[in-house]
């Protein structure tokens, strides 16, 4: 059965810390993995990692994809209170148009 699992479920850190969030997957005919950030309301897109692009970076956020070991990590360096959110990963279902398997998310709280 296809699945996407995120860990840890929640994390509390102090400002300035570096955090690593994990997303492991078992999905038939894997093509790509997406990361979203969800603050109080709608999830917003962060990165898409594909076979041809296994590392992405944007400011203090970076993500890598390990297709051999079937996981991705999202790193946030020098965390700020504005990084507090739920981080979701999603993997597209094969032969399903643009449907995704979503993980349950990691809730990150950054304390001043």
Partner 1 sequence: NAGVTQTPKFQVLKTGQSMTLQCAQDMNHNSMYWYRQDPGMGLRLIYYSASEGTTDKGEVPNGYNVSRLNKREFSLRLESAAPSQTSVYFCASSESSGRSPYEQYFGPGTRLTVT
Residues at the contact surface with partner 1, assessed by CB under 8 A = 31-32, 34, 41-45, 48, 88, 90, 92, 97-100, 102-105
Map residue 111 onto helix, strand or coil: strand
Closest contact distance (angstroms) between CB of 104 and partner 1 is 4
**Phi, psi at residue 57, to the nearest 5°?**
-145, 140
- Spatial distance between the Cα atoms of 53 and 96, rounded to a whole number of angstroms: 22
Closest to partner 1 by CB, 40 vs 68, is 40
Closest to partner 1 by CB, 15 vs 39, is 39
Closest contact distance (angstroms) between CB of 17 and partner 1 is 25
Closest contact distance (angstroms) between CB of 12 and partner 1 is 18
Map residue 27 onto helix, strand or coil: coil
Closest to partner 1 by CB, 74 vs 103, is 103
Closest among 46, 38, 36, 21 to 85, alpha carbons compared: 38
């Amino acid at each position: 059965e296809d699945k996407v699992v995120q860990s840890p479920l929640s994390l509390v850190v102090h400002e300035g810390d570096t955090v690593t969030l994990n997303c492991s997957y078992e999905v038939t005919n894997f093509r790509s993995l997406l990361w979203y950030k969800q603050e109080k309301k709608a999830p917003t897109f962060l990165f898409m990692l594909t076979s041809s692009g296994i590392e992405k970076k944007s400011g203090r956020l970076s993500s890598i994809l390990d297709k051999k070991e079937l996981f991705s990590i999202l790193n946030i360096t020098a965390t700020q209170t504005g990084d507090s959110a739920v981080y979701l990963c999603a993997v597209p279902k094969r032969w399903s148009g643009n449907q995704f398997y979503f993980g349950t998310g990691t809730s990150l709280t950054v304390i001043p």
